[in-house]
């Protein structure tokens, strides 16, 4: 497209008509590439987890912002109940990829005019971050496949969005590298809730002291 404009074979106005779809495709490619590179690192044992005090609210807010256009296009309401007290001992980049994947997944499988809610439960030594959507939901059989390497599981979203099948598997690996756990509950036709448990920062700092 850029070459056509530079060569004079396409006008600037025609180019601008294609700009929104180009932007969406570039963002999707970038997101997929992040997943592939991170997964490749983990398979080669080259992924280094650098745990530190991580503010979950800031990561959630950042990723809601990154996906805001896509949420608007499907008229999906996103509500975060996370506050600044939710501090974890985790790798910011890895947890950012986890949150982005889960939000992207919720976006993909939530029909237009749906809702996605993010919150946190205090679980003693862990913060349990949860992501509840009003999407199409998963069968028990599908729920058992989404986190495992042995299964190649990918489906189309409510607007025919296509995934890589790597996202949730990668999320599980990354959460476990941060000494946490990831699980999901789902009801077909009503939605899915992902629960991501991550060690609290205050407890880890006490141990280090």
Cα distances (angstroms) measured from residue 165 to each of 39, 42, 87, 102, 141: 11, 16, 30, 12, 16
d(CA 91, CA 53): 8
Note whether residue 85 is domain-resident. Answer: yes
126: β partners = 123, 199
Note whether residue 148 is domain-resident. Answer: yes
pLDDT in tens, the chain (209 residues): 778 878 888 888 888 887 777 776 776 677 667 666 666 666 556 678 899 999 999 999 998 988 888 899 899 999 999 999 999 999 998 899 899 989 988 999 999 999 999 999 999 999 999 999 999 998 888 888 887 754 445 554 555 555 545 678 888 988 999 999 999 999 999 999 999 999 999 766 666 55
d(CA 38, CA 58): 21
Note whether residue 17 is domain-resident. Answer: no
Q: Which two tokens stand for residue 171?
A: 């999320």
d(CA 127, CA 119): 10
Note whether residue 21 is domain-resident. Answer: no
Note whether residue 33 is domain-resident. Answer: no
Enclosing domain of residue 73: 50-208
What totals of helices (H) and strands (E) does the chain contain, helices first?
A: 8, 7
Residue 87 contacts residue 52 (beta carbons within 8 Å): no
d(CA 114, CA 71): 10
State the CATH number of the domain containing residue 119.
Answer: 3.30.565.10
Q: How many domains does the structure of the chain reveal?
A: 1
Note whether residue 42 is domain-resident. Answer: no
Note whether residue 154 is domain-resident. Answer: yes
Note whether residue 10 is domain-resident. Answer: no
């Amino acid at each position: 497209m850029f070459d056509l404009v530079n060569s004079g074979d396409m006008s600037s106005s025609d180019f601008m008509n294609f700009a929104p779809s180009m932007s969406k495709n570039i963002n999707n490619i970038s997101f997929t590439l992040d997943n592939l590179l991170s997964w490749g690192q983990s398979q080669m044992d080259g992924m280094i987890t650098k745990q530190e005090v991580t503010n979950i609210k800031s990561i959630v807010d950042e990723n809601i912002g990154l996906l805001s256009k896509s949420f608007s296009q499907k008229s999906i309401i996103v509500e975060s109940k996370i506050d600044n007290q939710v501090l974890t001992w985790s790798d910011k980049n890895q947890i950012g990829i986890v949150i982005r994947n889960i939000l992207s997944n919720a976006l993909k499988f939530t029909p237009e005019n749906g809702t996605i809610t993010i919150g946190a439960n205090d679980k003693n030594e862990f913060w349990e971050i949860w992501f509840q959507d009003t999407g199409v939901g998963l069968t028990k059989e599908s729920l058992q496949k989404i986190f495992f390497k042995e299964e190649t599981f990918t489906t189309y979203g409510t607007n025919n969005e296509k995934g890589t099948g790597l996202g949730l598997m990668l999320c599980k690996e990354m959460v476990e590298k941060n000494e946490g756990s990831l699980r999901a509950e789902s009801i077909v036709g009503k939605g899915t809730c992902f629960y991501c448990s991550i060690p609290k920062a205050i407890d880890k700092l006490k141990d280090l002291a």
